[in-house]
Structure 1
Amino acid sequence: MKPDHAASRRRVLQAGLAVPLTATLPRLTRAGAAPGARVRPSDAAWPAADIWKALAGQLAGSLVAVRSPWTECVRAPAAKACAEVFKQAKNPYFLGDEVALTQTLGWVDAWTSAPSAYAVRARNTADVVTAVNFARNHNLRLVVKGGGHSYQGTSNAPDSLLVWTRDMKDVTLHENWVPRGCEDRMAPARAASIGAGALWAHAYDAVTTRGGGYVQGGGCMTVGVAGLVQSGGFGSFSKAFGLAASSLLEAEVVTADGRARIVNACTNPELFWGLKGGGGSSLGVVTRLTLRVHALPETFGAVNFTVRAKSDAAFRKLIALVTRFYADQLMNPHWGEQIRFRPGNVLVVSMVFQGIERAQAQATWAPFFAQVEGQEQDFSIDFSPLKVVATSARTFWSPTLLKRTLGFIRRDDRPGAPEGNVFWPGDQGQAGQVLHGYQSTWLPAALLQPARHGALCDALFAATRHWGLSLHVNKGLAGAPAEAVAAARDTAMNPAVLDAFALAISGAEEQPAYPGVAGHEPNVALARQRARSIVNAMGALRALVPRWGSYVSESDYFEPDWQQAFWGANYERLAAVKQQYDPDGLFFVHHGVGSEKWSADGFTRLRA
């Protein structure tokens, strides 16, 4: 079962100006490239050494010839240097700082993390423009990486040119900000402008810890800001503040023609809409985002406990109890995170709250605890020492000495690492993982109504006979404020999210492994077995929702009807935005807008 990457967050509680930058290099003759194909290093049309040298000069040191540390591991798997790579692969900041690496190392039978031939380590928008123009003029496969957290492998591709935005991570707070061109339409608001390479750890430090505000972002601190927003974006408190994409006020984006554009509701509004949930790196390279800053609640809190059912029948009863309790008491802006159903008839509740105090949270859960504790013949309940806890919201993401001492937060342990390089221990499970399988499905709130509740419980029970799953209740907007739902409706996200009470997720993975490294290769047989179990588990739930939707960032690599699953009725409009701003398909990602026109690797245009 997919580990709970939000667990440590809960344990903490237990203690600019757009300009048309169009400079280009001499265009290389494309002789030797197959018609309709992008060029590879083995093709005659690949830029010659002097062309790359000219690009390096134009970029003033920002062009990198990429070398993967895995190459040396394949050659000498028992060497000390290889052992160090595998050890460091559990440090998400090490992975993020290595141009050749990604946070996930691959997905069995789907993709393996493999580096680009060259990378532009972009320091500013001008570097991005130069890279985009070079890739377009020389018919290269272009890849964009910020945080590098893509489960779909979209932040890496061999034989490509990588635009790496890691160094573009400034965060600037504005007290009274209005999107350009919207001065007569929008009132000033508090906002934060964030570089495309920033991670949520950077954003929360600037906006919350130092600024006393709240920006709707990801739960994992090492996820990239730009990628999350472009994919719609959920955090622990999305049920209160809506999608991360809904808080986007303005972006700077470099489009396929090499123009740096300002996009907002008043300027390039269709492109702006497409960036709000249309998927990362399909429409352009985002270089800066400006997000609305919300008022920070006084308190964040958490509830954590485990219930073990003593029989299958008791577990079926427990599923009914907790889902009914959720529908009656928790489907509102105060609550978020996970209700997990594990193999062996185990329920794990790991939830967070905001906008209420600890005493109110205790009172809310008291009836449920009384029911469970009153049926000792069916259930046993395990609590952490502090089952209902609360803390100051302002210090939630702050790496205080107490948190570090108690192990509630971890720091990048490399010598000289920045003080702000911190992460939740529970999120470390993602670092260096190799996925075996992963699926998600939004579950509509109608399933909680009396007429359908029994069918939902039956499906959840049937799913757990195959594999575990989690209900991420913060990743559905049923019960959210009307304004949060309305703002989400004005994004490219699948409208299924609007009335979903949760996103059901089932997944499996193993820890760092890499093909060809003797003694460290992925367990292919186990992966395929687990993948079948996940398909069977999620099939039980999907049978309840004929036109189900799936969250693009947390979805099946092999999704056959991905246009419908990720975007539903919005896909046609997204395709029109793609045609307007990238008619030749320079920007390609797996199962991204317009990708159906290309081969699976993004190198060959398919005939209509």
Structure 2
Amino acid sequence: MKPSTQPPSWKRRRLLQFAAGFSFLSGVWKPIHAAAASSAVARVRPGDPRWPSGAQWNELGQQVGDALVKVQSPLLACRNSPDSAGCQQLFKELKNPYFLGDEVGLTQTLGWVDAWTSKPSVYAVAARNTNDIVAAVNFARQNNLRLVVKGGGHSYQGTSNAPDSLLVWTRKMNDITLRDAFVGAGCEGHASPVRAVTVGAGALWAHVYDAVTTQAGGYVQGGGCMTVGVAGLIQSGGFGSFSKAYGMAAGSLLEAEVVTADGVVRIANACTNPDLFWGLKGGGGGSLGVVTRLTLRVHELPETFGAVNMTIKATSAPAFRRLVGVIIDFYRQNLLNPHWGEQITLRRNNVLKISMVFQGLSRSEAQAVWQPFMDTLDASPDDFKVEFSPLKIAALSARSFWAPTLFKRLLGFMSTDDRPDSPKDNVFWTGNQGEAGQVLHGYESAWLPAALLQDGQRQALADTLFAASRQWTVSLHVNKGLAGAPGEAIAAARDTATNPAALEAFALLISGAEGPPAYPGIQGHEPDSELARRSAQSIGRAMDEVRKLVPDPGSYVSESNFFNADWQRAFWGTNYSRLLAVKDRYDPDGLFFVHHGVGSERWSADGFTKLV
């Protein structure tokens, strides 16, 4: 892919680079480690004369002990024996997100047709502590290596893997510590103590929810998918099921410890390194440094969480168009508030699927909210058929929402890690299992401004959504737009690097397609490339309809189009120039590279060659 056009701040960045090494007054940008600049324009690969010798790798191994591992993907063995029992068992295991996360050579998504394929690093430092990460960062910088960071490994863009690289793998750094009265370093006397939780960079949201909510009765804003890594979600901004009430996950970040490109361990919070702190809140994972631990605000837990699930089949296309208008009107009048989150999905076969959650309401209160919608459907039995569901609207104690109760498992809502002796809190929503080991065919997203819900625009919005649904399935993730959220949550989100479009959006529209676990070169398990390309074309046509109404929508960095040429504006909008200045200060030589990450326009698509 060709790099996109240089943003307007290019001349200012060149001036900053020219001024490297000079000291300025407090509060003015300066590079942190100009003396570490490298004259090389290409990173080294195995076989290059400058690739570290065995003795050098042994020296790194001595620094980190048995944390240095030679990486090999378990998929490679299947190429020679695709029909073996071992290979069949492996492809079964690829549907277990915990198995994927525990394999150093694998990622949660196995690739994206015509975009990228999951390929392992040469070596990995399976970090146990911050010192291991410092050693890995220094080794990569000193030897001009491609460096990649993986925690949960959930990146759709493939940013948590890179062949011919050194991997910093934080999976084992997963401690969780509750704090009754936390004050950030340097903030003593400037901030009141708050309830918080400190987690290691390798922690997963399932385990954080268990510690904070199930065990301690608090709430921490995290991801909807329980096997997503905490550090990756925070750095992408972070949206979860209840973001409409509590804001972005990044908005609850109080402090982070991070190893920057010069190998220095830095604390980042509102009082110490505040520029780095701001950049870590939504600036994208793997671009500014290696986060080692995070401290997040713990909120008061509501009494109840609940869910609304129903499927409505319209008997004709005109009836479906009317149904789209009904749900948009109903959402505007009843659901655009902090109580509601998750998805409204429109399908090509004239099906409307409601998969929503709520907080702070009883079951009877939630039923009362939805009754007018149900009355509208009942009034047109020839047009709308509601699929029977005994748990159409359900509520439960918020404290048990993430607990793996027998009830949830029997009804298929929740699944567990089925490996022998796996921890009992290794659980995940069954609805997310399709993402484990997936190969993406296409994916796009767009924030839809809340102004589209006004009286004069709702019909155009409904027409657009209907037209898009004729091409491919589109989903409104209403928890990933903050319009309707409390002012405090919006203010915290405004103080992040995330595209400000998210603050004014009522939903993030997503259209995507994927296939089952597959890998090139494994007979019988290869991706269906032709199907993928047809699906991608259909997604593109659906999004073309959306762009007629919203010509230049913002896009969520974690759920976006790999091929978006306008990614700087789409992901970060007016925040990009400031974010790039943070990058220049803490990583002026570009040690940290990810696809479509801040500063990546200066490098080749694989991150190995610096562009002149």
> Which residues in structure 2 correspond to 1:183-582 (within 5 Å)?
183-582=188-587
2:189 and 2:505 map into 1 onto residues whose CA distance is 35
TM-score (norm 2): 0.93
In structure 1, C-alpha distance between the alignment counterparts of 2:411 and 2:299, rounded to whole Å: 30
C-alpha offsets along residues 203-234 of structure 1, whole Å, 9 cap, x if unaligned? 00110011110000001110000000000001
Unpaired segments ≥5 residues, structure 1: 1-26
Deviation of the 1:422 alpha carbon:
1.1
Give the match's secondary structure for 1:399: coil
Task: Classify 1:214/1:605 alpha carbon distance in 2 versus 1 (closer, same or farther; 3 Å).
Answer: same
1:124 corresponds to = 129
Question: Match of 1:332, as an amino acid?
Answer: N
2:262 and 2:307 map into 1 onto residues whose CA distance is 48
2:79 matched to 1:74? yes
Instruction: Report deviation, 1:408.
Output: 2.9
Instruction: Give runs of ≥4 in structure 1 deviating > 6 Å.
Output: none
Distance 1:277 1:48 in 2: 38
Q: 2-side partners of 1:164 and 1:505: how far apart?
A: 30
Which residue does the alignment assign to 1:21? Answer: none
Which residue of the partner structure matches residue 86 of structure 1? 91
User: Which amino acid in 1 is paired with 2:153?
Assistant: G
Summarize deviations over 1:499-539 as a string: whole Å, max 9, x none: 10000000000000000001110000000000000011011
Distance 1:148 1:403 in 2: 26
Contact 2:313 2:385 (C-alpha < 8 Å) held by counterparts: yes
Q: Distance in 2 between matches of 1:376 and 1:382?
A: 12
What corresponds to 1:3 in structure 2? Answer: none
1:171 paired to 2:176? yes
- Structure 1 residue 405: Cα displacement: 3.8
SS of residue matched to 1:69: coil
Decide whether the 8 Å contact of 1:114 with 1:156 is kept in 2: yes
Alignment check: 8 A CA contact 1:304 1:383 kept: no
| Whole-angstrom distance in 1 between the partners of 2:132 and 2:548 | 48
Q: What SS does the corresponding residue of 2:365 show, helix, strand or coil?
A: helix
| In 2: Cα distance, 1:499 partner to 1:370 partner | 31
Asked if the contact 2:442/2:539 (under 8 Å) is kept, the reply is yes
Q: Per-residue displacement from partner, 1:427-447 (whole Å, max 9, x unpaired)?
A: 111100000000000000011
Q: Deviations over 1:30-54 (max 9, x none)?
A: 9xxx940000002111001111111
Q: Structure 1's 311 and 406: CA in aligned 2 closer, same or farther, altered over 3 A? A: closer
TM superposition shift of 1:402: 3.3
Give the % identical residues. 68
Q: What's 1:9 paired with?
A: none
- Specify the alignment match of 1:7 in structure 2: none
Range that drifts further, 86-95 or 393-402: 393-402
Name 2:609's counterpart in structure 1: 604
Question: In the aligned structure 2, how far is the partner of 1:400 from the partner of 1:381?
Answer: 28
> Where in structure 2 are there 5+ consecutive unaligned residues?
1-35
C-alpha offsets along residues 543-574 of structure 1, whole Å, 9 cap, x if unaligned?
21233100000000001100000000000000
Shift of 1:472: 0.2
1:588 aligns with 2:587: no
- SS of aligned partner of 2:545: helix
Which of 54, 61, 83 is the aligned partner of 1:49? 54
Between the aligned partners of 2:490 and 2:196, the Cα distance in structure 1 is 20
Correspondence 1:156 to 2:161: yes
Output the amino acid matched with 1:204: Y
Q: Distance in 2 between matches of 1:285 and 1:403?
A: 36
Cα distance in 2 between the residues matched to 1:378 and 1:402: 34
Supply the distance in 1 between the matched residues of 2:257 and 2:117 (Cα, whole angstroms): 31
Residue aligned with 1:60, SS: helix
Q: Distance in 1 between matches of 2:314 and 2:238?
A: 34
CA distance in 1 between partners of 2:207 and 2:306 (Å): 22
Structure 1 CA distance, aligned partners of 2:330 and 2:189? 46
Partner Cα distance (1:291, 1:439) in 2:
29
Deviation at residue 308 of structure 1 after TM alignment: 1.0
Report the counterpart of residue 18 of structure 2 in structure 1.
none
Q: What TM-score do the two structures reach when normalised by structure 1?
A: 0.94
State the partner residue of 2:31: none
Alignment partner of 2:544: what SS? helix
Contact 2:520 2:527 in 1 (8 A): yes
Contact 2:413–2:431 under 8 Å retained in 1? no
Tell whether the 8 Å contact from 2:279 to 2:579 is kept in structure 1 after alignment: yes
Question: How many residues are paired up?
Answer: 576
Match of 2:17 in 1: none
Alignment match, 2:114? 109
Report if aligned partners of 2:304, 2:360 keep a CA contact under 8 Å in 1.
yes
CA drift at 1:592? 0.2
Distance of 2:549 and 2:590 partners within structure 1: 36
| Offset, 1:299 | 0.3
- Partner letter of residue 443 of structure 1? L
